[in-house]
Chain A
Amino acid sequence: MDLLTLHIVVPVLTLIGIAFARNLQQTRTIAAIGMGIQLLQSVNLVFAFLAERRGGNTAEVVFAKSIVWFESLNIRYDIGVDGISVAMILLTSVVIFTGVFASWETKDLYKEFFISLILLAAGVFGFFISLDLFLMFLFFELAVIPMYLLIGIWGSGKKEYAAMKLTLMLMAGSALLVVGILGLYFNSAPGGGQYTFNIIELSKVVFPIELQRFLFPFIFIGFGVIGALFPFHTWSPDGHSSAPTAVSMLHAGVLMKLGGYGCLKVAIYLLPEAANELAWIFLLATGISVIYGALGTIAQKDLKYINAYSSVSHCGLVLFAILMLNKTASNGAVLQMISHGLMTALFFALIGMIYARTKTRIITEMSGILKVMPFLSVCYVIAGLASLGLPGLSGFVAEMTIFVGAFQHQDVFHRVLTIIAVSSIVVTAVYILRVVGMILMGPVKEETYSAFSDATWYEKVATVALIIGIAGIGMAPLWLSDMILNSLDPIISAITGI
Chain B
Amino acid sequence: MSWEQFLLMRHELLLILAAVVVLVAEIATGEDKNGINHTAIWLMASITVVGFLPAPVGKLFGGMYVVDSLRLAMKNTLNIGLLIVFLQSARWLNSKENQGRVSEFYLLLLASVIGVNYLISSGNFLMFYLSLELTTIPVAALAAYEQYKSRSAEAGIKLILSSAFSSGILLFGLSIIYGVTGSLDFSLAVFAGAGSLGIVGFIFFFSGLAFKISIVPFHLWTADVYEGAPTNISAYLSVVSKGAAVFILILTFFSFFRELQDVWQGVIFATAIITMTVGNLFAIRQKNLKRFLAFSSIAQAGFIFLGVIGGSELGMAATVYFVLIYVFSNLAAFGVVNIVAVNSGKESMEDYNGLYRTNPRLSLVMMLALFSLAGIPPVAGFFGKFFLFTAAAEGGFYALLIIAVLNAIISLYYYLLVVKAMFINKSENPISGFTSDFYTRLSLVICVLGMIGIGFIGEIYDYLQSISFGL
Spell out A's residues near B (CB within 8 Å).
68-73, 75, 134, 137-139, 141-142, 145, 148-149, 152-153, 159-160, 163-164, 167-168, 171-172, 175-176, 178-179, 182-183, 185-186
Contact = CB atoms under 8 A, between A and B. Distances in A.
B434 interface: no
A270 B23 CA distance: 65
Given A72-B317, A142-B378, A160 B420 contact: yes
A171 B412 contact: yes
A152 B420 contact: yes
B413 A179 contact: no
Nearest to B407: A175
A182 B382 CA distance: 15
Given A171-B412, A175-B409, A176-B405, A138 B382 contact: yes
6 contacts: A167-B416, A175-B406, A175-B408, A178-B386, A178-B401, A182-B389
Contacts of B412: 167-168, 171
Contacts of B387: 73
Interface of B: 314, 317, 371, 376-378, 382, 386-387, 389-390, 393-394, 398, 401-402, 405-406, 408-409, 412-413, 416, 419-420, 423-424, 458, 461-462, 465-466
A234 B438 CA distance: 48
Contacts of B405: 175-176, 178-179
Main secondary structure of the interface of B (DSSP, over half): helix
Given A71-B462, A141-B382, A168-B409, A148 B416 contact: yes
Given A72-B317, A145-B376, A179 B398 contact: yes
Nearest to A77: B458
B409 A134 contact: no
Given A148-B419, A168-B413, A183 B377 contact: no
Contact of B458 (A68, A160, A176, A182): A68
A72 B416 contact: no
A141 B25 CA distance: 51
A152 B421 CA distance: 11
Name which of B317, B371, B386 has the most chain A CB atoms within 10 A of its CB: B386
A72 B462 contact: yes
A139 B387 CA distance: 16
Contact of A72 (B386, B389, B394, B461): B461
Given A70-B462, A168-B409, A175-B408, A182 B378 contact: no
Contact of B424 (A152, A172, A183, A185): A152
A142 B377 contact: yes
A186 B458 contact: no
Main secondary structure of the interface of A (DSSP, over half): helix
Nearest to B378: A142
Contacts of A176: 405
Contacts of A175: 405-406, 408-409
B401 A149 contact: no
B424 A153 contact: yes
Contact of A172 (B378, B398, B409, B458): B409
B377 A185 contact: no
Given A145-B371, A183-B393, A138 B420 contact: no
Contact of B394 (A71, A153, A186): A186
A88 B424 CA distance: 32
A442 B394 CA distance: 66
Contacts of A160: 420, 424
Nearest to B460: A70
Contact of B466 (A72, A139, A171, A185): A72
Contacts of A134: 386
Nearest to A142: B377
A162 B408 CA distance: 20
A71 B314 CA distance: 12
- Nearest 5 pairs between A and B by C-beta? A175-B405, A182-B393, A72-B465, A70-B458, A152-B424
